[in-house]
Amino acid sequence: MYSTLISIFMWTLVQSGTDLDLPLPELYQVNEHQQQELKISDDAAAVFMLSGEYEGKIFLTPHVNLNTVKGQAFVAHEMMHYIQYKEGFFKHTTCAASSEPQAYKIQNQYLIEHGDTQTSSEEFVRLISHCFRVTDK
């Protein structure tokens, strides 16, 4: 599994265009009980934590199978968030969802390059990355 993660990470670094020399992020495979304890949504495949004691870490839920292209693409997506985090992206935005287009681009590119055509649609990415603003009435 470790060699698979290194391979995905190296691929993601190259695709991201970052010039940072980054170590492999901390990744944890969690079971359903741990997923609930961490308050990770039941339908989530993987998450990158932005705050708290697990800040900067990636958690893979039982839904992720690293032996599949789809599972590996989920990991590439979360690794992109790790790269964004290390580049300071989240310090300069009030909406974490604005990070999703780049992460889904990486995920879709990974899927396509590895023979899977079931990618996320542009409309889905637009919806998931929408930043709502609170307005005064």
Q: Among 10, 105, 1, 86, which residue's Cα sits nearest to residue 48?
A: 86
Residue 96 has pLDDT above 80, yes or no: yes
pLDDT of 134:
57
Q: Are 61 and 45 in contact (CB under 8 A)?
A: yes
Tokens describing residue 114? 């590895």
Total-model pTM: 0.87
Q: Are 122 and 89 in contact (CB under 8 A)?
A: no
pLDDT of 55:
92
pLDDT band at 107 (very low <50, low <70, confident <90, very high): very high
Q: Are 120 and 110 in contact (CB under 8 A)?
A: no
pLDDT of 133:
62
pLDDT of 135:
54
Q: Per-residue pLDDT averaged across 84-98, rounded?
A: 86
Tokens describing residue 25? 């992020």
Residue 136 has pLDDT above 50, yes or no: no
Residue 137 has pLDDT above 50, yes or no: no
pLDDT of 9:
95
Residue 35 has pLDDT above 50, yes or no: yes
Longest pairwise C-alpha distance within the chain: 54
pLDDT band at 85 (very low <50, low <70, confident <90, very high): very high
